[in-house]
Amino acid sequence: MSSDESFEGFEGVSHHGDVPYDNNDFSDVDVSSVSSLSDQDEPDDTPPDFDFVTPEWNCDPALFTHVQCGVFSGQEGPRLPASFDVSKATPLDYFSLFFSDRVFENIVINTNKYALFKDNQKRILNPDYVSSWLPTNVTEMKAYFGLNVIFGVSPLHRVRNYWSANAFLGNEGVKNTMTIGRFEKLTEHLHISDRDSEIAKGNVGFDKLAKIRPLINSHLRSFPKYMHPSQHQSIDEGMIAFKGRISYLQFCPFKPCRRGIKAYMRTHGNTGYLYQFEIYLGKKENPPTIHGVYFDVVARLVESLHFKNHRLYFDNLYTSVPLCQYMLDNGIYSCGTLRSMKKFIPQEIRKPSRKLQRGQYIMYQDTNTDNMTVCVWQDTKLVRFLSTCAQPSVVFNTPRRVGPAMINIPQPSAGKAYNDHMQGVDVADSLRRQYKSGRFSKKVWKYLLWFLVDVAGVNAWLLYKEASTRIMKKKNFEHLDFLLELGTQLISGFTNRVRTQSNANQVFVLGAANMSSHENVHLGLKRPRRCYHHKTFHPNGKLIYQTVYGCEICKISLCKMCHGDFHS
C-alpha cells in the first residue's frame, strides 16, 4: 500500500506543564547575532499592508463583551486512501504513504548516476582505475534505510560496531543484511536529487537545499494529505542537530538542542503530527517584509487554513497584535504569550502599576475588535497573553504546589487554552529525537535527510495509533515496537552476503589448455579469488581486481582479463 504521489518535482516559552517562562527571557531568540534582534519585530511604526486597525483597549469588566468564535468547518482525523485496509496495514504500509516505491526508485536512479559520475572523475586522474561499485536497486536501498532505522532503535557509538565480532557489540541481523563495505559504499554514493539538474553555487536559482529539495517537497505534499488539519494547532521552531560550518547555522542557548539547523513547524496541537515545516536559510534567502520575519513565517505556514476557523497557538517569539489581527481577518483564531516590548498593547500590560498577587491578572479588550483580548497574569512570574479566541470574563482554576500543599489559583481562559494546545511541536521533537536515524556525516544535507526520515516515521506512527485496528499479539505496541517492525519490514530478509558453495569449493581443471602463467590462479578451497599475475595496485595502495564467478562455459572463476584470453 504505497502512495501514488510522484517523487519527481518534490520539488522560550516552556510548553511542558502549566508554567510558561517569563515573557522577556528570549528563550526562542536566535542569538547568533545580537545585532539582528531588532529586526525580529516590526521594523518600524508603519502598519502592515493589510487592513490593520489600531486597537482601542478597554479595561472595565462591566463593558467586556462575549467573544464570538465561528464553528470549526474542517474535519479531523486520518484521511487514508480508499484501498487502505486499517485492519491489516503494517508499519511499512503507513510509512510508504510518505516514502513510496517511486521515492525509492528515484533515489536508486540518482545514487547509481552519482556513483558513475564519481567513477569517471577517478578515471580522469588514474586511467588504470577499476571501479568496485555495483549498481544498487530498490530492494537493497530499502534495506539500507531499514538498517538506519534499526540504528535509531538500537544506537551504538560507531557504525562499525554493528559488524563487530565482539558478542556484546555485533548485531547478527545487521551482519546478515549486508557487509560493512557495501553499507559504506551506499552511504558514500547516496544521492536524492538529480545531480545533472542542480544549479551551481553563485548562479541565479541556486538552492542551498537542492540535494534534499525533492524529498522536502514530497513531504510537504504528503503530510497534510493523509491527516486532516486539526482544529487546534501549534507553531514553533525545532532544531536539527548539526555542528559544522554553514551559512544558516543557528545557536539557540535555551533550546534542548542548542546548535543546528532551525525548522519552523506547524503541528497538531496535542499529538505532534507534523503538517508543514520550513527550513530557515537566513535573511538573504527570505528577506523580511514590512510585517517582520516571524509574521511572514506564520503567514506562510497557515496559508492553507484560511476561513475554516482553526485555532493557532504560538509563543512570544511570534505573537503580535498585527499578526493576530491578520489571522482573524482570514478566519483563523490565535492565542499566544506576549513580550512586554511589543507594540499596540496598553502600558498597564507592559508594566503593571501595582504588584499583583499570585493568581491575579489585568485584562483588556479591544473595542474595535471584540475578539482581541490581552492580559497580564501573575504566576511565579508575570505572563502576558494575547488572544482572539479567549473569553475575557472566564477564569479557570489551575493547581500549584506551595510547599507540601497543593492549591488552586485563578487562571485566565487564554492561559488555559495556551497550555492545553501549545505542546504539539515539543511532542513532535521529543518523538523524533528519541530514536534518531542515520549517523555522523560531513555533508549537511544528510542530516536533513535523516530528519525527514524521522518525521515521516513519527507521522506514520501517529497515523497508525489513530487509525489502525490491527490485532497485535503484544498488548502494548509502542513507538519503539513500531520502528523496530518498520526497519525489519524495510529489510524484508534482504541479504547480499550469500556466497555459492560451488564457486568456493571448485577445483581448477584446465586439461590440455595450459595458458602461460595462468595454471594456478584462485583455485581450490580458501584460494584468493583473483588472478595473481594480473593484480595491480592503485597509487593509494588498494588492490584492484575484477573477477567473473561461475563461467557457464568452463565452470571456473577467472579475472576478466584472463577470462577473455582463456576463451580466445
Q: Are 191 and 113 in contact (CB under 8 A)?
A: yes
Identify the pLDDT of residue 499. 55
Nearest to 487 by CA among 3, 144, 86: 144
Burial class of 236 by CB neighbour count within 10 A (0 to 12, 13 to 18, 19+): buried
Residue 109 has pLDDT above 80, yes or no: yes
Residue 280 has pLDDT above 80, yes or no: yes
Residue 201 has a CB neighbour count (10 Å cut-off) of 9
Identify the pLDDT of residue 437. 94
Lowest mean pLDDT among 47-51, 160-164, 563-567: 563-567
Q: Are 265 and 238 in contact (CB under 8 A)?
A: yes
DSSP 364-432: EEESSSTT-EEEEEESSSEEEEEESSS-TT-EEEEEEEETTEEEEEEEEHHHHHHHHHSTHHHHHHHHH
What is the share, in percent, of the chain residues with pLDDT greater than 90? 71
Angle separating helix axes 479-491 and 444-467, nearest 10 degrees: 110
Could you give the dihedral angle defined by the CA atoms of residues 434, 438, 441 and 444, in that order, rounded to the nearest 10 degrees?
-70
Strands 361-366 and 373-378 turn out to be antiparallel
pLDDT in tens, 48-57: 567 889 999 9
Sequence letter at residue 485 = E
Residues 565, 548: Cα–Cα separation, whole Å: 13
Q: Which has more confidence, 42 or 233? A: 233
Could you tell me the pTM of the whole model?
A: 0.81
pLDDT range class, residue 80, cuts 50, 70, 90: very high
Residue 106 has pLDDT above 50, yes or no: yes
Identify the pLDDT of residue 502. 43
pLDDT in tens, 318-374: 999 999 999 999 999 999 999 999 999 999 999 999 999 999 999 999 999 889 999
φ and ψ of 472, to 5 deg: -105, 145
Residue 514 has pLDDT above 50, yes or no: no
Mean pLDDT of 537-542: 45
Residues 359, 377: Cα–Cα separation, whole Å: 7
Identify the pLDDT of residue 498. 62
Q: Which residue has the cell 513507538?
A: 479
pLDDT in tens, 217-269: 999 999 999 999 999 999 999 999 999 999 999 998 888 889 999 999 999 99
DSSP class of 22: P
Residue 105 has pLDDT above 60, yes or no: yes
Report the SS3 class of residue 342: coil
Query: What is the rounded average pLDDT for all residues in the chain?
Result: 84
Lowest mean pLDDT among 135-144, 385-394, 432-441: 432-441
Identify the pLDDT of residue 126. 92
Identify the pLDDT of residue 197. 92
Angle separating helix axes 138-153 and 444-467, nearest 10 degrees: 80
Residue 28 has pLDDT above 80, yes or no: no
Strands 558-559 and 547-548 turn out to be antiparallel
